[in-house]
Amino acid sequence: MQETSFIVIRGNSMRLDGGSMFGNAPKALWQKWIAADENGMIDIASNCLLVKTGHHNLLFETGCGAYLSSDMKMRFAVKEETHMLLQALAEERLTDSDISHVVLSHLHFDHVGGLLSAWEPDREPDLLFPKAFFVVGEENFRRAKSPHYRDRASFIPGLCEKLQATGRLVLKRGGDRLNVGGLSIEFFQSQGHTPGMLVSWIQARGGTVVFTGDLTPGLPWVNLPITMGYDRFAEKLVDEKKLMLDRAVAEDALLVFPHDAVHVAARVEHDPVKKRVMPAQVFETLNMTL
């Protein structure tokens, strides 16, 4: 395998209710990890992983983007008006046309909104990334096309049809692999947050990087029992998270989090005193070569 660069870049940020983000964990506990404002809202980042290998540029997630109308931006407290992911790519001397693969853990709007151009009055947003293959979990794609009443507001109407129309949609199942530019990416399928979410195990020459999706949206959720109110099956998610964390310890894998506004990544270890997996090394930024 050749050397590969791993860079965390930021898309548009937002604020969400802290109680919803921490499920049944009491505020007295979770506010020790993340500060909330007077309304109980916490910062939610759009951390996207840019992977440069050979002649390929892969992007894991696109964040919430800037496609929402002004009133919807207010509802989700999206901070920036411009498309921050495109600006972040420009800082790496890239445009959306330079991305060869966009790998999406799942199709909730806060992970895929950056696929679309910024909102303009009286105009439907365009699908960006004109040369990229869009890699999505097959089961989650079906869910997005026919969502349940409980989570249909989390999906962007018409996005699945836009992806299909490109002819560049690649559907994957758990256990499938994607081999690109010397990388081998293994997909672990999770059901706890949303059906068919994909966790990406990216195996490079110098080690393994895992894009966790919402199995662990940020550093506090490395704590095994901590789940979100948005999760479909909390106990199932905890079981899946344990499998991921145990494997991460065994492989000394680096975990990259999609929503943590402070810590974008961490390595983990088994704490013999607390008898569970705990963060061992945390990163506030990430730009490394493996």
At 33-65, the pLDDT tens digits run 999 999 999 999 999 999 999 899 999 999 999
Mean pLDDT across 137-156: 95
Complete edge-to-edge strand list for the sheet that includes strand 207-211: 177-180, 183-190, 197-204, 207-211, 254-256, 265-271, 276-283
Q: Quick one: which of 42, 45, 43, 58 has its CA closest to 11? A: 45
Whole-number pLDDT of residue 80: 94
Element housing 135 (H / E): strand 133-137
Range with lowest mean pLDDT among 68-77, 123-132, 205-214:
68-77
pLDDT bin (cut points 50, 70, 90) of residue 3 is confident
Apex 167 CA angle, 162 and 169, nearest 5: 75
Q: What is the rounded average pLDDT for all residues in the chain?
A: 96
Sign of the alpha-carbon dihedral angle for 240, 243, 249, 252: negative
Phi and psi of 3, rounded to 5°? -65, 145
Whether 18 contacts 30, CB under 8 Å: yes
Whether 157 contacts 215, CB under 8 Å: no
Element housing 191 (H / E): none
Mean pLDDT across 136-146: 97
- pLDDT tens for residues 90-112? 999 999 999 999 999 999 999 99
Mean pLDDT across 87-92: 98
Whole-number pLDDT of residue 242: 97
Whether 268 contacts 216, CB under 8 Å: no
Q: How far apart are CA 12 and CA 214, in angstroms?
A: 17
The two three-digit tokens of residue 182, written as one number: 């010397």
Element housing 134 (H / E): strand 133-137
Residue 1 has pLDDT above 70, yes or no: no
- pLDDT tens for residues 264-286? 999 999 999 988 999 999 999 99
What is the per-residue DSSP string for 217-244? SSGGGGSTT---TT-S-HHHHHHHHHHH
First to last CA, the chain: 10
pTM equals 0.97
Whole-number pLDDT of residue 274: 87
Residues near 227 by beta carbon (within 8 Å), at least 6 away in sequence: 23, 24, 192, 221, 234, 237, 238
Whole-number pLDDT of residue 45: 98
What is residue 213's three-state secondary structure?
Answer: helix
Q: How far apart are CA 188 and CA 209, in angstroms?
A: 13
What is residue 143's three-state secondary structure?
Answer: helix
Whole-number pLDDT of residue 252: 97
Pseudo-torsion of CA 21, 7, 174, 100, nearest 10°? 120
Whole-number pLDDT of residue 2: 74
Q: How far apart are CA 79 and CA 246, in angstroms?
A: 36
Provide the pairing of β-strand 5-10 with 47-53.
Answer: antiparallel
Cβ neighbour number for residue 29 with a 10 Å cutoff = 12
Whole-number pLDDT of residue 54: 86
Whole-number pLDDT of residue 182: 87
